[in-house]
Amino acid sequence: MKAPLAWTITQGNPNVLIAIVDGGTNITHEDLQGKIVQNLDDSNFPLSHGTAVASLAAANTNNGIGMAAIGYNCRLVTADIYNTARVLEVSQIPGVKVINCSWGGRSYNSYEEAVYQEIHAAGVLVAAAHNPSTSTYYYPASYDTTLSVTTVGSRYPIGYIHENGFDNMWSYSWKDCHEQRPNDGVQGDCNIHNDKVDVCAPNMFIISAWDKLE
């Protein structure tokens, strides 16, 4: 991702709120201390995936513990019920400029599309994706006013054996492998491949905060 180069341009802005509409988020996690200005927590989701996504966006950085985030000077709003109604609600919180939705479904809905158009017109960017390695459209990622983010490869070079028991699953998910490799025709796992994709970012074996599942 060349994050150090990106940080010469910006490390984020504390006046910009990034909303994480996901599963539960551990607001007391050391990497998120002081970063969450509002937590819409009204369910019993495990505090794992939401914690990881929030940390990738704006974890505390340069503090000698945990991990580094891309926009680490930004602050966060977290919400643990993920649907379009919640995205609309979050978009109306003052300061929210980006909403991350790491979820979706295959059903197009004209009403939902109109909602995302309304959110976009208000100057809020919704970024979404889905996991299966397919060309199927998933929503909200595939609405025209949503930034569709897919994944690419691993942090390891081709040929590295992952010592984690998942080699059969991840053996073809190598660095910079998003489209099919010409030698064997396989492509990275968990990558959406369609004409709605706007940008891709690293996904396999990246470092994030993760709340332990008891």
Q: Please spell the DSSP secondary structure of 138-189, one letter per residue.
A: -BTTTSTTSEEEEEEEESSPTTPPPTTS-HHHHTT--TT--S--TTT----T
Please list, in sequence order, all residues whose beta carbon lies within 8 angstroms of the beta carbon of residue 198, skipping any fewer than 6 positions away: 147, 148, 149
pTM above 0.75, yes or no: yes
Of residues 175 and 4, more confidence is placed in 4
- Quote the CA–CA distance of 58 and 194 in Å, as a whole number: 28
3-156+191-204, superfamily in CATH? Peptidase S8/S53 domain (3.40.50.200)
Q: What is the mean pLDDT of residues 187-197?
A: 73
Q: Which helix (H) or strand (E) holds 106?
A: none
User: What is residue 88's three-state secondary structure?
Assistant: helix
Domain boundaries, the chain: 3-156+191-204
What's the pLDDT tens digit per position in 169-185?
Answer: 444 445 555 555 555 55
Q: Which helix (H) or strand (E) holds 58?
A: helix 49-58
Please list, in sequence order, all residues whose beta carbon lies within 8 angstroms of the beta carbon of residue 7, skipping any fewer than 6 positions away: none
